[in-house]
Amino acid sequence: MAKIELPYGKEYLEVEIPDERLNAVLVSELHHYKPEMGQTELVRRALENPIGTPKLRDMAKGKEKVVIIASDHTRPVPSKIIMPLMLEEIRRGNPDADITILISTGCHRETTKEELVEKFGPEIVAKEKIHVHNCDDESMLVNIGVLPSGGLLIINKLAVEDDLLVSEGFIEPHFFAGFSGGRKSVLPGIASRATVMYNHNAEFINNEKARTGIIDGNPIHTDMLYAARAARLDFIVNVVINAKKEIIYAVAGDCDLAHRQGCDFLNSVCKVNRVPSDIVISTNGGYPLDQNIYQAVKGMTAAEATVNPGGVIIMVAKSNDGHGGEHFYKSFKEEKDVDRMMEAFLATPSEKTIPDQWQSQIFARVLKKARVIYVSDAPDDMVSDLHMIPAHSVEEAIAKADEILGRKDSKITVIPDGVSVIVL
């Protein structure tokens, strides 16, 4: 009997699976990787050896206004380690720099003060200027051009009025941008809702290159990188983290070259071969990525890549914040025919993209391939409205999967952290 721990919120759920039923456990080597130095030392080394740029302290000389784009409450970026080092480095080059930390919420809700304190620590929140981006606040937005796709590039004006724009973040496999991090700090991070909508259009989401682990030829990435260049994102500090949310790798420098080195590292440790099964269990890696159902679609795509057509995906995500996207929720509550929903998405012009459409489109794609049983703290009726079957334990979910499949010996593949693997 195999005992497997599945991240769930800030804790773990343990499930036992009979050996004869367990087909495979797909785990990225990322979680076994042993860095050669501590977390702070890794970031310091990256800052001392930037890729494709001068050192940050040298870039900061003579720059009066500096904006640091930082991730929001939905991303497990270890900012308590990264941000103090970036602030120190900037002030080492220019002690009088006027620094603003700009929280890149994208189209998420605004980050609360409590969440900022948890992210940065009380000292930074008390002493530094912090502005939380709001994609709908037109008074803070400015048009700086046109994306390669044809959409308007509208971003937060703080990132335009500065003398130096830098960012912190982390890199992980991303289910349609290829990888997170790097250029994503600008688009979607500090972009207007209209710009994000255009970039996340149905045609791009449907593109075979808009998949986990792919950036070359990915039209979504192409727009994002253009946006970062147009905004003059001059320097990034990006890290890779393990299951304990600890830094195991760090890069700094040019927003494309440094990011690509981080992606190359992830490619070397995150790729796993699919092991097709009728039942696949996945997670969203625990807190903070499993706070809502909307975000959990990411972990489902890892299962989608290896579940047999007509099989069952068991998704384990605490979802204590509920559905996470009003338009996402309504799309499925109000339309029970997934095929008709997908047809409507694909027929939607880029400029008519609605909020959460991309997530709904990918979720519909998953549902067209497999039934989904959802283990969470979310209300049962909410889960059902989203075309899934609610369950309150993994054991209950497996029993329901057996009932759906009409047998009790179906093979099971487990992906303990669905957002950390690239399933080939």
Contact status, residue 396 vs residue 13, Cβ threshold 8 Å: no
Give residue 102's pLDDT. Answer: 98
Q: What pLDDT score does 181 carry?
A: 97
Give the C-alpha separation, 20 to 2, whole Å.
10
- Write the DSSP string, 100-118: EEEEE-TTSPPPPHHHHHH
Provide the CA 235 distance to its chain's centre, in angstroms.
20
Residues 6+ apart with CB under 8 A from 395: 15
Q: What is the CA 211 to chain-centroid distance, rounded?
A: 13
How many other C-beta atoms are found inside a 10 Å radius of the C-beta of residue 128? 15
Question: Please, what is the Cα angle at 265 between 261 and 269, to 5 degrees?
Answer: 165
Sort 123 into a burial class: Cβ within 10 Å, 0-12 / 13-18 / 19+: exposed
Q: Is 2-26+274-423 a domain of CATH 3.90.226.30?
A: yes
Name residues whose C-beta falls within 8 Å of residue 195's C-beta, 6 or more positions apart in sequence: 147, 151, 152, 153, 154, 155, 187, 188, 227
DSSP 159: G
Residues (pLDDT < 70) of the chain are: none
What pLDDT shows up at residue 31? 78
* Fold assignment, 32-269: Rossmann fold (3.40.50)
In tens, the pLDDT along 148-169 reads 999 999 999 999 999 999 999 9
Backbone angles phi, psi at 239, to 5 degrees: -125, 160
pLDDT value at residue 203: 96
The pLDDT score that the predictor gives to residue 155 is 98
Determine the pLDDT at residue 147: 97
What are 17's strand-pairing partners? 2
How far is 262 from 77, CA to CA, in rounded Å?
A: 15
Helix (H) or strand (E) holding 142: strand 141-146
Element (H, E) at 251: strand 247-253
E strand or H helix at 417, and its extent?
A: none
**Burial class of 186 by CB neighbour count within 10 A (0 to 12, 13 to 18, 19+):** buried
Domain spans of the chain, in order of start: 2-26+274-423, 32-269
In this prediction, residue 75 carries a pLDDT of: 85
- Per-residue pLDDT, 322: 96
Which amino acid is it at 212?
T
Question: What pLDDT, on a 0 to 100 scale, did the predictor assign at position 245?
Answer: 87
Residues 6+ apart with CB under 8 A from 232: 165
| Contact (CB, 8 A) for 239 and 82 | yes
**Is the CB of residue 159 less than 8 Å from the CB of residue 231?**
yes
Phi, psi dihedrals of residue 250, rounded to the nearest 5°: -145, 145
Task: Report how far residue 237's alpha carbon sits from residue 59's, in angstroms, rounded to the nearest whole number.
Answer: 14
Q: Which residues are catalytic?
A: 108, 174
Give how far the C-alpha of residue 292 lies from the chain's centroid of Cα atoms, to the nearest Å. Answer: 13
In the DSSP assignment, the letter for residue 328 is H
